Each structure stands twice: as C-alpha cells, then as structure tokens.
C-alpha cells in the first residue's frame, strides 16, 4: 500500500521529528545524515564591503518552505553558467583539480552576479535583493558543479524520495511517508533529459551513456549517497526516480532504538555476522534493506579486508571504514566486440574474479536483481560471511526469486542446480517488512522474520527453519529454537538465554537492551 501524493506539505513540519523507521531518532544518537556543505562557506574572495556577497551557512530548507521559493530567472542562470564555463575553459587545462575549479568558479559567480545586479540598476530596474543574489549564486554553482536544479532537493533532509514525470510533475516523499508536490527541475522535457545527460557524463565512477540508444541510466549521485534511475525515449515522457538514504553510518543498536528489531534479534544477527554466516536481506523497495545491511556490516571486525561489488555504489562502506575496495559495474558504450560486450563494459562478475588477487576476506555483492546472483553465490562460496540484498515479499519468496534469477542469468542452469547452489551458499535470510499506518500513512519498517537455509527436501532442493517469525504487530519474535550450529552463535554474543525466555514467554523482548557488541 502506498501513500497518495498531496499538493501541500503539512504546516510546521519539523525535520527532527520525522520518523525514518517507526519513531524519531533519539536525540542522544550521533548524526547519521550526510549533508552537503554550503558551497559558499570560505568561497573565493567575495567583496567584503557588500553584505549581499557575504554568504553564510543556511539552515536546511523544509519541503514546506521549498514550496514558496525565491523566484529564479533560469534564462539568466543559463547565461551566467555559460560565461563561467567559458572562463574556466580558457583558464584551466583538462584534468585540473575539481576543488581549484570550484573555488575559481565561486569567485567568477560572485563577480558576475554583482555585475548582473548593477546592470539591472543601470537599466532602471530594481537591483537583486540579498536573497535573490544568494539563490542566483547557488543556482549557477549547482548547474556547473552539482546536480543543477535537483541540488536543493538533495540538500533537503526532509526528502526521502524524488519522482519526476516529465519536466512539469515533481513529487516528493517525505521521511514521514507523506507526498508533496515539488517545483519543476526543468523548463521542458528536452532540458530534463539534458540535465540527466550532464549528470551522467560527470559521475565519479565514469561517464554513463543516456541516449536513444541507451534509454536507461542508473547511477549513484556523487556526494549525496542518493541513487538515481532514469528512462526516456522508451517511456511516454522522461522519468526520473531518486532514492535518498537518510541513515548512512548506522548500527544495530540504533536500529533497535528505532524499533526496527528487538535486542535479541539484533544480538542474533550481530553474532551471525561475526561468525561469518552468509546473509541475504530481503524486502520491498524502500523497506530499509540497505540500511540494515550497513548496520550488519558495522559488526564486521575492523581489521578485516572487505570488497564490495555493486551495479551502482550504494552501501558506501568505502566511506565508512578502512580496508575496503569498492567495485562498481560500468556499462559499455560504442561498438559491440566479438565477445558480445560493448567497449568499456565492466561487470560485477569480472570484478569478483579479479578480486581474488586483492587479499579480501569478505566479499559483499550488493543488490541482486538478476544475473548478479551468480557473483553472489561465488562470493559466498569463496569467502564466508558475505552479505547481499534482494527484492521479495517474504524470506522464502526470496529463495524462489533468487532461483529464478539464477536460471535466467546463465544458460543450461536447471532448477535443481540453482536451488542446490543457493541452499549451500546462503545461511540466513532476513526479511524486512514495510507497511503504512492506514490513517496517517506513516511508514513502519521492521525486521519481520529470520530463517535459516540448508540443503534438504527433494521437491524444493532446500529446507528452511523460521527462527524468528512475525509477531502480533508484525515484528520478528522467536519462533523456533535454532539448531546446534546456530546455538553456537552464543560464543559470538547471541543472547541465547534471552531468546529462550522470549520463546517460552511471548511478549518478552530479550534480557538486555545492549545485546549488540561493538
């Protein structure tokens, strides 16, 4: 069930009070939101005699405030952008450091905005107000060095999802699950396509094609941790969907505090990671799979050498801890070679094969949507303690989905082979449920079940044991005493006694709230 968009945001929305999971983040938790810094702090050498050019840090704008923005002359923004771009092309050689270019760009933007304001006065018009100058500077800077007219939305901590249907229709999903209408990010569909092409051409992991020949593009937006998916030419109008991950550096203790799982369930999962069990996290889109996976990765001992493999960077472990090599698939462009691949293409399977020379102890394949299942299986077979995510409606449905992916991903793969491979590779599946309050439409994200997977029954090729099952409120509660192998997780911190108490006395949540070890 999804919330319907509405045209106005709730008045008085307080970003600090918006729940990401089931209730607001406690104030004593460390911040976990990556906020891009104000580009004007310490920028260039603005004229200190003019207070309008003295930019200072600005508070985060709420979605309600963004519904009434300071008007922007986008034709003027384009003209100023062109002037700054020309100056930079004449001044800098290709490959010049980005920071150097940005600092020079700020100086040029300050100068040109001031000149534009003076020109208005000379033409008998009112000069720009300080607010207009600030917005104009931001718009020109963002169009040159950031995500253009998308940047204010990416800077807004209220916004969790951004959906664009053609240049006129922008819908924003806030962290509390409500939808509001956003301002257009382009003046035409052609301009919207050009914006996405510009962003795709300068993504940090290499240019990604977006054209009639390549009508889809998926990428991580540099500096924001957001994931963008766009399509055009094969849809009736350009479509852009941006998913923002608001919780970046997150722990299982924090997720317990947010109500996503119980202390005893957290202790079980933490112990499973430390004991090098291979885990798949399943759930619907936006259920919190990546957030939970980040928290599980936090339990990997600090000294371990990790490799991640993703179609688009999303986990971001390389930004959170040392000893991480992050590989990202790269789509090819140009002519198709004799091997059937486009020039420049780099796949997850190839990166995984090459990673064996890099002395990695944990191999983590991110999201599995199709052919990535085979690198996932190989990662789990080659280095224990792997982690992956996939879309599914339940833990058992995740197995069926992965079997289908395996059969579609490789020719001559039978159902028996696929199930056998998966049953031997996966130890646990954790399913995250996403539901909405029927009245307020507030999203509720919680771990609903944890099952163990083993080779077994002839009909299915695998056997499952539901260790944690959905309780009365849908949250995972102890269901079946784990086998001796999983009882052995007690040596790694699993609260086995708390599990037994909750199993025999439904309603108990575990003995300690600090069941997860750092």
Per-residue pLDDT of the chain (518 residues; tens, 9 = 90+): 444 443 343 444 333 333 444 434 333 434 333 333 333 333 333 333 444 444 333 444 444 444 456 788 889 999 999 999 999 999 988 878 889 989 999 999 999 999 999 998 999 998 999 999 999 999 999 999 888 999 989 888 889 899 999 999 999 988 887 889 999 999 999 999 999 998 888 765 567 889 998 899 988 887 666 889 999 999 999 999 998 876 678 899 999 999 999 999 999 999 999 999 999 999 998 899 999 999 999 999 988 999 999 988 888 898 888 899 999 888 766 666 565 666 667 889 999 999 999 999 999 999 999 889 999 999 999 877 999 999 999 999 999 999 999 998 777 888 889 999 999 999 999 999 999 878 777 888 999 999 999 998 667 789 999 999 999 999 999 999 999 889 999 999 999 999 999 998 876 544 444 345 44
**Measured CA distances, 506 to 126, 221, 265, 503 (Å):** 71, 45, 14, 6
One domain for residues 103 and 165: no
**pLDDT for residue 41:** 32
One domain for residues 268 and 182: no
**pLDDT for residue 346:** 84
* CATH code assigned at 438: 3.40.50.300
Residue 119 lies in a domain: yes
Do the beta carbons of residue 399 and residue 462 sit within 8 Å? yes
DSSP 476: E
**pLDDT for residue 336:** 63
One domain for residues 370 and 451: yes
One domain for residues 110 and 207: no
DSSP string, 204-236: TT-----SSSS-EEEEEPTTT--EEEEE-SSSS
Residue 409 lies in a domain: yes
One domain for residues 269 and 318: yes
One domain for residues 287 and 424: yes
DSSP string, 349-380: HHHHHHHTTS--SEEEE-EESSTTHHHHHHHH
Q: How far is the C-alpha of 285 from the C-alpha of 96, rounded, in Å?
A: 39
Name the region of 332 (left: φ>0; alpha: ψ -120 to 50; beta: rest): beta
Which residues make beta-bridge pairs with 227? 220, 243
Residue 506 lies in a domain: no
Statement: the pTM of the whole predicted model exceeds 0.75:
no
Residue 6 lies in a domain: no
Domain count for the chain, please give it.
3
**pLDDT for residue 373:** 94
- φ, ψ for residue 462, nearest 5 deg: -150, 160
What is the b/e burial string over 266-291, where b = at least 16 CB atoms within 10 angstroms of the residue's CB? Answer: bbbbbbbbbbbbbbbbbbbebbbbbb
**165: domain range?**
153-243
Beta sheet of 387-391, edge-to-edge order:
367-368, 387-391, 279-283, 428-436, 443-455, 462-470, 476-478
One domain for residues 215 and 260: no
Residue 512 lies in a domain: no
Write down which residue in 85, 117, 145 finishes a domain. Answer: 145
One domain for residues 318 and 188: no
One domain for residues 174 and 305: no
User: Measuring CA to CA, which residue among 304, 401, 311, 410 is closest to residue 352?
Assistant: 311
- φ, ψ for residue 258, nearest 5 deg: -85, -5
Residue 511 lies in a domain: no
What is the b/e burial string over 122-156, where b = at least 16 CB atoms within 10 angstroms of the residue's CB? Answer: eeeeeebeeebbbbbbbbbbbbbbbbbbbbbbbbb
For residue 422, give the H/E element and its range: helix 415-425
Write down which residue in 114, 129, 145 finishes a domain. Answer: 145
One domain for residues 201 and 64: no
Write down which residue in 103, 120, 145 finishes a domain. Answer: 145
**pLDDT for residue 392:** 96
Residue 425 lies in a domain: yes
One domain for residues 45 and 189: no
Residue 25 lies in a domain: no
* CATH code assigned at 210: 3.30.450.90
One domain for residues 491 and 399: yes
């Amino acid at each position: 069930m999804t919330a319907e968009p509405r045209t106005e945001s709730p008045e008085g929305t307080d970003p600090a009070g918006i729940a990401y999971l089931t209730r607001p983040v406690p104030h004593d938790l460390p911040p976990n939101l990556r906020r891009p810094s104000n580009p004007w702090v310490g920028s260039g050498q603005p004229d200190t005699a003019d207070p309008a050019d003295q930019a200072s840090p600005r508070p985060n704008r709420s979605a309600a405030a963004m519904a009434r923005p300071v008007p922007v002359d986008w034709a003027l923004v384009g003209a100023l952008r062109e002037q700054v771009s020309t100056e930079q092309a004449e001044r800098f050689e290709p490959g010049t450091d980005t920071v150097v270019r940005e600092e020079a760009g700020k100086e040029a933007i300050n100068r040109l905005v001031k000149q534009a304001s003076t020109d208005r006065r000379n033409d008998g018009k009112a000069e720009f107000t300080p607010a207009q100058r600030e917005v104009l500077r931001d718009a020109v800077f963002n169009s040159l060095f950031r995500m253009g007219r998308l940047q204010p939305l990416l800077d807004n901590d209220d916004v969790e999802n951004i959906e664009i249907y053609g240049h006129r229709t922008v819908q924003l999903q806030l962290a509390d699950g409500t939808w509001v209408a956003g301002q257009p990010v382009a003046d035409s569909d052609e301009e919207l396509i050009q914006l996405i092409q510009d962003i795709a051409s300068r993504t940090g992991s290499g240019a990604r094609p977006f054209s009639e020949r390549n009508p889809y593009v998926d990428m991580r937006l540099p500096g924001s941790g957001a994931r963008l998916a766009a399509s055009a030419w094969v849809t009736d109008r350009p479509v852009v969907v941006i998913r923002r991950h608001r919780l970046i550096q997150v722990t299982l203790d924090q997720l317990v505090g947010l109500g996503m799982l119980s202390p005893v369930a957290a202790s079980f999962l933490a112990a499973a990671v430390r004991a090098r069990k291979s885990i798949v996290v399943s759930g619907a889109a936006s259920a919190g799979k990546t957030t939970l996976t980040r928290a599980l990765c936090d339990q990997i001992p600090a000294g371990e050498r990790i490799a991640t493999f993703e179609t688009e960077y999303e986990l971001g472990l390389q930004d959170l801890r040392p000893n991480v090599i992050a590989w990202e698939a790269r789509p090819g462009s140009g002519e198709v070679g004799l091997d059937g691949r486009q020039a420049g293409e780099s796949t997850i399977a190839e990166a995984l094969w090459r990673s064996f020379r890099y002395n990695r102890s944990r191999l983590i394949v991110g999201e599995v949507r199709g052919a990535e299942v085979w690198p996932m299986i190989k990662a789990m077979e080659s280095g224990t303690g792997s982690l992956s995510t996939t879309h599914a409606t339940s833990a058992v449905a995740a197995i069926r989905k992965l079997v289908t992916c395996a059969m579609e991903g490789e020719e001559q793969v039978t159902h028996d082979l696929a199930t056998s491979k998966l049953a031997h590779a996966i130890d646990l599946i954790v399913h995250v449920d996403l539901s909405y309050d029927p009245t307020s439409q507030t999203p509720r994200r919680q771990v609903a079940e944890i099952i163990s997977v083993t080779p077994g029954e002839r009909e299915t090729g695998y056997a499952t044991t539901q260790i944690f099952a959905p309780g009365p409120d849908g949250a995972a509660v102890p269901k079946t005493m784990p086998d001796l192998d999983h009882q052995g997780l007690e040596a790694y911190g699993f609260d086995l006694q708390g599990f037994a108490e909750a199993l025999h006395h439904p309603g108990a949540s575990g003995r300690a709230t600090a069941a997860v070890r750092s």
